[in-house]
């Protein structure tokens, strides 16, 4: 279990990380979200001891991290760092040996992970011959090859198409089944909703949201209505509690409500002449919440 307790880090007058705390248990996936410069990467570097915190603590299973503990951590930085003129196999063996694995143990796992992530190329190919997407997969394999207990992935989905992003999601879920604790940062809220057990959102170095995704969404109330009704947009807009009316890509009318309590009266109105195909009252999406909180004044 990883515990981050009241971390502070300043660079001059800039508070990069300001009283950040969270816990990740064995077999959990946590998403960390926030705008560029929110403090996500700095938090990762503090956990990894690349930077020294001004105050606060990072505990692994109740104790400060030791040198040996860092051998059970896998870290994928946002900035990629592979040797372009070295073969995939040689590169993966080298990185795994740095983590204490033997050459024979590594060789037995390379084929599995290359197949898992559908790397296009042979393990004898030099990295420079691969596409950027496949280079990213190789770097990810180097992060996971030693089967770390704690995995930190900084923007792992960046640059991946939907098919390859799905492969990565499945890989992360598999690691969770084996008991690994995973933290990843992402600007894609769909990735966060799909795979994380809970999330932390940072803004200007501080935590502004924390918890299970569904619980966070419910905190903001079911203020979105998705309709297929015979009423026109103007008629819907005239109903009490309706702030705006728009249409989504599926052609549904989308009503933004002042308060969730208006939903009952609207349901009665739009169904007074009988059945309608769609009436769904939902909380805002994580993407909408992210936009709201990222632009809000932090209290």
Q: What is the pLDDT of residue 257?
A: 95
Same domain, 118 and 190: yes
**Inter-axis angle of helices 132-144 and 88-98, to 10 degrees?**
30
Q: Are 138 and 120 in contact (CB under 8 A)?
A: no
Same domain, 246 and 202: no
Q: What is the pLDDT of residue 164?
A: 83
Q: What is the pLDDT of residue 299?
A: 36
287 in a domain, yes or no?
A: no
Q: Could you tell me the CATH number of the domain that includes residue 235?
A: 3.30.70
CA distance 101 to 136: 22
Q: Are 182 and 151 in contact (CB under 8 A)?
A: yes
Q: Are 155 and 80 in contact (CB under 8 A)?
A: no
Q: Could you tell me the CATH number of the domain that includes residue 110?
A: 3.40.50.300
How does pLDDT run across 217-276, given as a tens digit for each residue? 999 999 999 999 999 999 999 999 999 999 998 889 999 999 999 999 999 999 999 999
Same domain, 227 and 213: no
Same domain, 233 and 260: yes
Q: What is the pLDDT of residue 100?
A: 80
How does pLDDT run across 127-185, given as a tens digit for each residue? 889 888 888 888 888 888 888 899 999 988 877 788 888 888 888 888 888 889 999 99
Domain interval for residue 248? 221-282
What's the pTM value of the predicted model, to 2 decimals?
Answer: 0.82
Same domain, 163 and 254: no
**80: exposed, middle or buried (Cβ count in 10 Å: 0-12, 13-18, 19+):** middle
Distances from the Cα of 217 to the Cα of 222, 284, 285, 287, angstroms: 8, 6, 7, 10
207 in a domain, yes or no?
A: yes
Same domain, 38 and 176: yes
- Looking up tokens 């005239």 gives 238
297 in a domain, yes or no?
A: no
Same domain, 35 and 91: yes
The number of domains in the chain is: 2
- Looking up tokens 């030099």 gives 126
Same domain, 104 and 231: no
Distances from the Cα of 273 to the Cα of 278, 280, 281, angstroms: 14, 18, 20
Tokens of 275: 């059945």
Same domain, 155 and 246: no
Query: Of 252, 232, 188, 182, which Cα lies nearest the Cα of 24?
Result: 182
**Residues, the chain:** 299
């Amino acid at each position: 279990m990883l515990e981050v307790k009241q971390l502070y880090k300043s660079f001059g007058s800039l508070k990069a990380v300001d009283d950040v705390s969270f816990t990740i248990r064995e077999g959990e996936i946590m998403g960390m979200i926030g705008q560029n410069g929110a403090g996500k990467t700095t938090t990762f570097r503090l956990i990894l001891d690349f930077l020294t915190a001004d105050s606060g603590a990072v505990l692994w299973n109740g104790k400060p991290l030791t040198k040996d503990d860092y051998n059970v951590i896998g870290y994928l930085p946002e900035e990629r760092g592979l040797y372009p003129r070295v073969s995939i196999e040689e590169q993966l063996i080298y990185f795994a040996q740095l983590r204490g694995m033997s050459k024979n143990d590594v060789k037995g796992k390379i084929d599995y992970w290359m197949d898992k992530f559908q790397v296009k190329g042979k393990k004898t190919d030099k990295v420079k011959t691969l596409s950027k997407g496949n280079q990213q997969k190789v770097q990810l394999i180097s992060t996971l090859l030693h089967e770390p207990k704690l995995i930190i992935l900084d923007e792992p989905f960046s640059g991946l198409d939907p098919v390859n992003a799905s492969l990565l999601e499945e890989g992360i879920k598999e690691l969770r089944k084996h008991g690994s604790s995973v933290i990843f940062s992402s600007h894609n809220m769909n990735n966060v909703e799909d795979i994380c057990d809970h999330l932390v959102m940072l803004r200007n170095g501080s935590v502004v949201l924390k918890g299970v995704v569904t619980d966070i969404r419910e905190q903001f109330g079911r203020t979105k209505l998705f309709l297929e009704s015979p009423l026109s947009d103007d008629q819907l807009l005239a109903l009490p509690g309706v702030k705006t009316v728009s249409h989504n890509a599926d052609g549904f009318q989308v009503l933004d409500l002042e308060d969730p309590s208006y939903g009952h009266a609207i349901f009665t109105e739009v169904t007074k002449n009988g059945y309608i195909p769609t009436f769904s009252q939902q909380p805002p999406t994580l993407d909408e919440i992210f936009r709201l909180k990222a632009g809000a004044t932090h209290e």
